[in-house]
Structure 1
Amino acid sequence: MATRTAYDSGLERFNRTNKVVNFFFNLIFIILALVCVIPVVVVLSISFSSEDSIRETGYHLLPIAFSGEAYGYIVKQGTMILRAFGVSALVTVVGTVLGVFLTTSMGYVISRPAYKLKGFLTWVVFIPMVFNGGLVSSYFINSNLLGLKDSIWALILPLAVSSFNVIICKTFFKSTIPDGLIESAEIDGASQLRIFFSIILPISLPVIATIGLFLCFAYWNDWFQSMLYIDNQNLYSLQALLNSLMSNVDALAKNAASMGVSYAVLVATMPKESARMAVAILIVLPVAFAYPFFQKYFISGLTIGAVKG
């Protein structure tokens, strides 16, 4: 009877401790969620605020004076915005598809124990994670040697493959694809390409979704490649346009003025701060809507690929 009482008492203390720990963990996650959500809410609030209220009272969590002027202005400049949006969408789709193919194929190759150059290629992948050639050498190769200057490929190829993504794929294939499955396919006469496309990829949706999401975010949010390699404004991505707006409040007006609109009138009437934030919201929305569809595979791919080295 005494043992039973001691057991119940210990179980009750454990439950109380567990509740306290869960409370603090929930509190920490709520704080982290607010840290992520509040800036987006502030940006959205600014995009719907009038320029006068921003100048007079600054930024607020909720608009002091509601106005859709920024979005109306963006609609008026629809040609430029749509062109930049199209460039971003094209680069993201093509870059993600190409990057997933190159990353998974290389990760699969170096994950096979029978491949003779596995050790050498593993070092080739690993070394760039530790040592970087530098911006000057990258610019020289991409611009002069490969001739990518002012080309849409300058926005795609430099980001297509990263060592980190290749290592994730290698770990996933090594820990989840049984050697017997590949050996049985080879006995049946299947080539390596047939094995990769017909067997490996269909059962690797988690890691494909994970790498695809990484690449999608990288391409969609990238503005640095445009700054380095693009002088033609027709090839500006939406992110490069936003960067121009952030660094030069008159950038949107200058672009619109080149279409025959009075520059002085545009500078005087355009909603500068709210327009910047409205463009930022336009950039965030596609990724925010796409993420829930990838979330299940994304989490699964990260956890499975992290089990073994």
Structure 2
Amino acid sequence: MYRKEKTFQFFVNIILIVITICSVAPFVLMISASFSSEEALSFYGYTFIPKEFDLSAYKYLFSSTRALAKAYGISILVTVVGTIMNLVMTVLIAYPLSRKDLPGRNIFAFYLFFTMLFNGGLVPSYIMWTRTFHIQNTIWALLIPNLMLNAYNVIMMRTYFTQSIPTEIIEAAKIDGAHEGTILVKVILPMAKPIIATIALLVSLAYWNDWMNGLYYLTDDGMYSIQVLLTKIMRNLDMIKQASSTGKTVMANVPSTSVRMAIAFLGVLPVLAAYPFFQKFLVKGITVGAVKG
């Protein structure tokens, strides 16, 4: 029996190693390509070690260091503030919906679920946000549309509250004289660390990677997030490449491919740097049981 378990564990480890290599390899190729010369990429293709080490891509991107630093600052601010606001709103909606004694609970739940299936569409949403709420060229354009609240996250958190937190604990807190606010803050939230950490990770990644809202609602360069700025740089590269192919520009030597890889690396670098620290709290929240005997 022990031998079978050892063999099974060996094959599981092999499979996990292969999956890890397949996950890490694209990132290594991306980083290597960003530090390679354009000629080496054209001749040798993508390699794990740069054939010709070159910093032209990063020199091109950091030619406007001030704009890049400001875009990073805006993205960090939007990610932090947006994640906190999203979590607060999600908890404040999910917790009442998890209570069976909430008046009109089914009506509110249906309304929430309905928003997952139907929406007004892009054009009505754009008109509403720009003409009614006037968020164009403001920080709210990166915070509110499509990201401030997600019905799927609310349903996930409500399900966790319903299935993982016994009602007896809430009733015991009420007997001790605790009101709803105290129960939520001192009883429910400490027991809901796994789902809070999970939703915080999903929401923060959505905010950091968002560029569509910037594309729709921002025309002021000073309000660009890092993803919007990098997207604009990439579009400019496409325009330069098209112009150079018709002989209308002398900038054909711009490192197009390596710049694209450098753009991807700069976009994902903060996430790669922060995730190991965030993962520690995520794993801790998941492994700690909600009810301790």
TM range (shorter): 0.7 to 0.9
Distance in 2 (CA, whole Å) between partners of 1:300 and 1:137 is 43
Higher alpha-carbon deviation: 208-217 or 282-291: 282-291
Higher alpha-carbon deviation: 89-98 or 119-128: 119-128
- C-alpha deviations, 1:14-43, integer Å up to 9, x for none? x44x55554544444333322321111111
Amino acid at match of 2:168: G
Residue in 1 that maps onto 2:258: 274
Unaligned runs of 5+ in 1: 1-10, 253-263
Residue in 1 that maps onto 2:245: none
The aligned runs of 1:156-171 (5 Å cut-off) are 156-158=143-145, 159-171=147-159
Q: Which of 149, 155, 158 is 2:142 aligned to?
A: 155
Unaligned runs of 5+ in 2: 241-248
Q: Which of 212, 226, 233 is 2:214 aligned to?
A: 226
Residue in 1 that maps onto 2:269: 285
Distance in 2 (CA, whole Å) between partners of 1:129 and 1:25 is 38
Q: Which of 136, 149, 163 is 2:123 aligned to?
A: 136
Whether the 8 Å CA contact 1:239–1:283 is kept in 2: the answer is yes
Residue in 1 that maps onto 2:109: 122
Whether the 8 Å CA contact 2:193–2:286 is kept in 1: the answer is no
Amino acid at match of 1:214: L
Amino acid at match of 2:226: L
Shift of 1:295: 2.5
Shift of 1:189: 4.2
Q: Which of 169, 189, 205 is 1:201 aligned to?
A: 189
Counting matched residue pairs gives 280
Distance in 2 (CA, whole Å) between partners of 1:116 and 1:302 is 32
Distance in 1 (CA, whole Å) between partners of 2:177 and 2:190 is 19
Q: 1:127 to 1:30 in 2, by over 3 A?
A: farther
Distance in 1 (CA, whole Å) between partners of 2:51 and 2:213 is 37
Moved over 6 A (4+): 300-305
Whether the 8 Å CA contact 1:230–1:236 is kept in 2: the answer is yes
- C-alpha deviations, 1:177-222, integer Å up to 9, x for none? 2323323333444332232223322332222211111111000011
Amino acid at match of 2:207: Y
Distance in 2 (CA, whole Å) between partners of 1:71 and 1:125 is 45
Shift of 1:46: 1.0
Residue in 2 that maps onto 1:259: none
Distance in 2 (CA, whole Å) between partners of 1:19 and 1:184 is 47
Distance in 1 (CA, whole Å) between partners of 2:275 and 2:201 is 8
User: What is the aligned-residue identity percentage?
Assistant: 41
Residue in 1 that maps onto 2:246: none
Distance in 1 (CA, whole Å) between partners of 2:257 and 2:286 is 38
Residue in 2 that maps onto 1:186: 174
Q: 1:66 to 1:75 in 2, by over 3 A?
A: same
Shift of 1:85: 0.6
Residue in 1 that maps onto 2:227: 239
Shift of 1:99: 0.4
Shift of 1:300: 6.9
Find the structure with the greater CA-based Rg.
Answer: 1
Residue in 1 that maps onto 2:82: 95
